[in-house]
Structure formats: C-alpha cells, structure tokens
Amino acid sequence: MNLRPASPRSLRGRLLRLLWWPLLVVLVLSAAYDYRSALNRARDNQDLALRRVAIALATRLDVDADDARNDDLGLHLSRTVQAMQRVDGQDRLYALVLDEHGGVISGDPAQAALVERDERDRPRYTDRRWDHHDVRVISFPHPSALGPVMVVVAETTERRQAQTRQVLLGTLMPNLVLLGLTLALVWLGVDAAMRPLDRLSEAVGQRSPDDLGALPEATLPAELRPLVAALNRLMSHVRAAAQAQQAFLSQAAHQLRTPLAGVQTQVELIGKEATPEQRSRLAAVTGALQRMARSTQQMLALARSAPEAAVPEAFHRVDLRDLLEDDASIWLDPALQAGIDLGFDAASAPVQGSAWMLHELIGNLVHNAIRHAPAGGRVTASCGVAQGGGAWLVVEDDGPGIPAEERERVLQRFYQAPGAARGGSGLGLAIVREVALRHGATLALGETGPAGGLRVRLEFPPLHD
C-alpha cells in the first residue's frame, strides 16, 4: 500500500485548469459552429449558382421553343452548356431536359439516372456519383412553352471541395489565434490576481524566526484579509506563550541558582571544621554542585537562545571588546586554578546583538578551552573587524582539538567527542551554535596549528547605519 502523501497542488495551477478547460471547450464549439456556418453559406452560394444555370437553360427553352419543330433545340442547349462550361474550367457540367413523360429533349439519355422526381413540383438538390465523379445535382421543374419539363443540371464538386478546404483554413486559423490569446490572457489574469498572495508568502518567508509581529492587512485584497487576520491571531498567541516561557525560564534560573549557591556555601563552611577525609568528600560534593550549577545555567541559556523559544529578542549595538573585558575577570581565577595561561587580545568589534546571549557564547567558548587545555597550556580570546566590515571573534587553545569528522557532531546537544574531558554536559558548543544562528554569524571549527588544538572562529555580518 502506497502511503506517500500526494504532491501539493498549486492554487495558480488549479485556477488555470478550472478556467482553461471550459474556455477550451467553448472555443472549440465556437470554431466548429463558425466552420459549419461558413460551409453552409458557401454551399448555399454554390447551390444558388447551380440553380441559376438551370434557370438559364429553362429560359433558353422558352426562347428557342420554335426550334423544337426543327429538332435543333437539343443542339442549342448543348451549345449553351458548352459556353457555361468554358466559364468554369475547374468543374464539369452535365445537363438533361426531360418532357413530362420522361422523354429526353436534350442531353445524354444515360443521365436520366440523375433525375429525382419531386411530387411537390419544386427544385430539389441531391448528391450523386456519376461518371466516376461526385456531382451535385439540381432537378428543376419548369412550365415551358413545350409544356412541363424537368431541367436536370449536374456539376462536379472539385471547386466545392477546394472551397471547403479554404473555409476550414479560414475559420481554423483565426480561432486558433483567438484560443491562444484567450488562454494567454487568462494566464496573465490569474498571475496578476495571485501576486498579492505571492507577496504575502514572500513577506512571511523573509521573516526571521523570532519576528512575531503582526502582518499588515490594509493593502491586501478582501479575500486574503481573513487568512492574515488568523495568522496574526496565531502569532499573538505564540508571542504570549513565548513571553510566558521566558518569564518562567528567568524565574527558574533565579530559583535554581539561589539554593545551589546556598548549598555550596554551607558545604564550604562545613569543610572548615571537617577532618581531612571529610574534606576530600566535601570537595567532591562541591565539584558536583558546581557542575550541576553550570549545567543548569547552560540548559536555561540554551532554552532562551534557541530559535524554538520564538522570542523577539531586542538587539542593540554591542562591542565584543567590552564583553571580552568583562569575561576576563570572570574566567581569570578558574584559569589560574587549572594552570592555564589565559590571554585576551581585544580590538573594537561592534555587532548588532543581544549582550546576554553573546556573554553566554564567550563564556562557553572560554570554559571549554580551559577544560581541554593541558596544564601549563594557553587559551587566547581575540576579536576585531574584518576587511569587509564584519566583526570576528576567535577563541583558541592548545588542547587535543577535535577531529575533523567530529566537528559537526559536537555542535549537537549533549554530544561529546571521544576523549573529551570528563565533567562536561555536551551543551557548550550547542549554545554557541544557537547564539551564532540568532545573530546571523558563521561558525567554523579548526585547528590552532600543526600540533593540534582547537580554534573556534565566528564572523558576524557588517553593521548598517
């Protein structure tokens, strides 16, 4: 059983199909009607010309009635038919005159098979086959001076068939052009009608993940306003839920830090009065509390900085140099305790962003570098402005580094590369990636030098005044 979802259908394509097929049917029927009408007019004109030939022969009977006694009426009629034949060299004419008893007055007696007697005493047209040709026949009764006669005139249909082809081309080509123009105008009309929806889709697609502002409704067609109003209501609900989530996270961060800090303080006080054996155990407890506090802070920071939080964070002009100088005082003591030479090489590097997010980014990079650098190693954090005008930030260490095949995976949450220092949560680089994404920065992991080490570089987009 095939459970694959059906491919989505385009609304533009659906409108075109709903309009094109009825128009196509109407235009085809119109073309068929035009062809039939033109063909009937041409046939009526040709039948009228054939009737005039029959009338001319009947009139000739009245004029030459006195010659009938000399038996040369048939000769006169034959000459008249020959003269008419010379006028139209494309078709052949056959003429036959019968008296009221069916006797042949003029013409080939074999042509009597073409005669269609009509009791209503009026002209009659028929299509017959004669002398290996398709012929159009008129049987024309006439009360001549010789008495009631039947004038029969047959004409081959070559000219009629040629005119039929001309009528076909004359009606087909204009209708094809009309069909093409109509379908093109329908396509242009549907395309123009769909442009507001395309602009709306483009406007929504260009929004950043944290932009939950209302979409403008004033310039939209009436048909799109209910949809946009529903989207605005949805984004209002999402914005309210995100604000509630942020309020909860901020409160949770405060509520978790306070008891953990209190427990850590009490453990340190107990350690002053404890025995050496107890102190070693209390040191392990203190380390666990520190790791718990660090992990708690990281999870809260990740929850607040990730795009899923959907919070419209207010970005301001921030200088990375100021952030590095602030973090220097925070990480200097942990670096000294670990025997790490921590250095800062900061130049002015303004970016548009969130100060607390960038603090979390720098803190996680420096913390990871200190954890993985060997005793006596070096960790350097630097920033500046590239030639293109965008700020950059680099944190590097001389630790074991990260293999190239693992550099993409270490950016995932809770993942730690084989051989990583113990005690980590696997959230540091995940937070760095989320903050970089929120700021439109590119993140690259590389080696410090031929001997190894890890070099993390972030490049921010240039500021626009």
pLDDT in tens, 325-356: 888 888 888 888 888 888 888 889 999 888 88
pLDDT of residue 289: 67
Q: Which CATH class is domain 11-165?
A: alpha beta
CB-based contact 391:385 (threshold 8 Å): yes
- The whole-number average pLDDT for the span 382-387 is 89
Which residues are CB-neighbours of 358 under 8 A, at least 6 positions away? 318, 320, 323, 351, 435, 439
**Mean per-residue pLDDT for 300-318?**
65
Three-class DSSP category at 455:
strand
Q: What is the pLDDT of residue 261?
A: 67
> Highest-confidence range of 51-65, 278-292, 392-406, by mean pLDDT?
392-406
Task: Using DSSP bridges, classify how beta strands 391-397 and 455-459 pair: parallel, antiparallel or unpaired.
Answer: antiparallel
**The predicted structure's pLDDT at residue 392:** 92
CA-to-CA distance for 25 and 6, rounded, in angstroms? 29
For domain 313-459, give the fold: Heat Shock Protein 90 (3.30.565)
Tokens of 76: 């006169």
Residue type, 401: G
Q: CA angle at residue 355 from 262 to 251, to 5 degrees?
A: 40
38-47, 126-135, 295-304, 309-318: the lowest-pLDDT one: 295-304
CA distances from 360 to 110, 129, 335, 363, 447 (A): 114, 101, 17, 5, 23
Contact 116, 127 (CB under 8 A): no
313-459 and 11-165 share a CATH fold: no
pLDDT at 9: 66
Average pLDDT over residues 363-386: 87
Beta bridge partners of 444: 457
Tell me the average pLDDT across 400-404: 82
**Band (6; pLDDT cuts 50, 70, 90):** very low
Q: What is the dihedral of CA 147, 152, 153, 154, to 10 degrees?
A: -170
Report the residue count for the chain.
465
| Least confident span in 143-152, 248-257, 336-345, 424-433 | 248-257
Q: What percentage of the chain exceeds 90 in pLDDT? A: 4
The pLDDT of residue 251: 62
Does the structure show a pLDDT above 70 at 277? yes
pLDDT band, residue 265 (cuts 50/70/90): confident
What are the residue boundaries of the structural domains of the chain, listed by start?
11-165, 211-312, 313-459
Q: Which of 18-32, 188-202, 414-428 has the lowest mean pLDDT?
A: 414-428
